[in-house]
Structure 1
């Protein structure tokens, strides 16, 4: 019997109870934090039977000028099939940091029109805290899947879209970077990138929607997202599209619709000449 995902978040208990489902695909979506300063030395472990989703090297357009640029629908479809993902798969995304890069992968599947996908609330740390089964990563080649894309271009925004949205009061641009980066009081982690933020955008650091690596309660999220009320469209931005997706996930949890992500985010905006910047 195939499961249908009803919520963009699932608990580790739910995942453990459904580990044996033949349609389940668990994706390890881990990437290092862009602000990380130290190497991880402990042995890499993964959730039992997880498949590594290589966000940086396989599922981003490495020919693009900016990091983490999404693939074309055709390329995404082919690479998802290579991971053994089918049209009837149940896809669960997690990462080693709790919830950092896994929402980006969830959002990419949303962009590609695939609905039966969720993020593991709390990720690997929460899974390990319950002593659920882990293993050293296995590098096997899955049998090719029949995954199909149904592309949803309204979920993706580009620089020209954002520029045209600045003066539109029905659209809100929300920035997931830290307040220090937003206001230019702390440096950008990428060299030669200007400080500041997109004019008329608001600061909602992605850490505001999380507590101990898990998503805050729906009541807390409603309170955080009060500023989004009565807006026809929300554009989430960050440094390079990763943590903007955390906000997109949180907004979806509380049924906020018309949500999109600015793919180039501040890396593109802050390095493109003649774009307006506010401190």
Structure 2
């Protein structure tokens, strides 16, 4: 099995592990596909139509999300995360491999959630389902069989997450660097935000790194290029705080930062869906 620090695995590696009875026994594959609100696709139906063998659906939009909030897919409590993830057959010693149907879009969100909940043995499938299909590996269809309940128990790590009020107090802190994953035109407020009612612009002292600059055809660019991107925006010892539209693509940056050797990574969960909607938080245009 891959080591706990192996944040990315290949389709070839995953296929080999699934073919090995001993390795497959401790492997849990999760489909964390999700789409932007304006994309008319149903990730759960697509999961039923075609998926990687043994996979279960990781629904961070509804099922594994904080209830009673107007903000989209907020990180749930450790108790709720434990309950829902155990239903997926995850154990404390499981190696979780997460993929999505776009290659590299929403799977890093699932990776970050597991990290924030104390589970280090989690990887993202490089290239996602498209890479798996392109390699011609086997797939499954239909509703998956239910798993035995796993013994997973979340241990919340607050250093992986930051809330709006705490972030607002640290905007001038030189020990941190806020990096925004949204497209440059949204960062610079040259276009309106896609979500109704949100102000345009960015946080004071934030820097722009659109997530698409880190990817090519659903794969991360080489590690040396990732390192150059982060070195151009921040000092090696700074804590990196990532934000985006609603906390999904910020996790692409968090994963990329870890791949490049940065270990102080935090995601602002509410992201612009929260910051842009509340007048008490400052905005730069």
> TM-score normalised by the shorter chain: which range applies?
over 0.9
Count of aligned pairs: 277
Q: Which residue of 1 aligns with 2:11?
A: 12
Q: In structure 1, what is the Cα distance between the partners aligned to 2:9 and 2:49?
A: 23
Residue equivalent to 2:270: 264
Matching residue within 212, 218, 235 for 1:213: 218
What is aligned with 2:150? 145
Which residue of 2 is the match for residue 94 of structure 1?
99
Q: How does 1:157-176 map onto structure 2 within 5 Å?
A: 157-176=162-181
Gaps of 5+ in 1: none
2:105 paired with 1:106: no
Moved more, 125-134 or 39-48: 39-48
Q: TM-score, normalised by structure 1?
A: 0.95
1:278 correspondence with 2:284:
yes
Mapping of 1:7-86 within 5 angstroms? Answer: 7-20=6-19, 21-36=24-39, 38-39=40-41, 44-86=49-91
Distance 1:272 1:23, change over 3 A: same
For each residue in 1:20-45, what CA deviation from the matched residue of structure 2 results, as whole angstroms up to 9, or x when unmatched? 42111100101112453x44798831
1:170–1:230 CA contact under 8 A, matched in 2 = no
**Which of 181, 185, 190 pairs up with 2:186?**
181
In 2, distance between residues paired with 1:165 and 1:35?
Answer: 33
Contact 2:35 2:41 in 1 (8 A): no
CA contact (8 A) 2:67 2:76 kept: no
**Cα pair distance change 1:81/1:39, threshold 3 Å:** closer
Cα deviation for residue 4 of structure 1 reads 3.3
92-101 vs 182-191, which deviates more?
182-191
Contact 1:46-1:137 within 8 A present in 2 as well: no
- The Cα shift of 1:166 comes to 1.0
Q: Distance in 1 between matches of 2:162 and 2:172?
A: 16
Distance of aligned partners of 1:231 and 1:166 in 2 relative to their CA distance in 1, 3 Å threshold: farther
Greater fraction of residues in helix: 2
Distance 1:101 1:190, change over 3 A: same
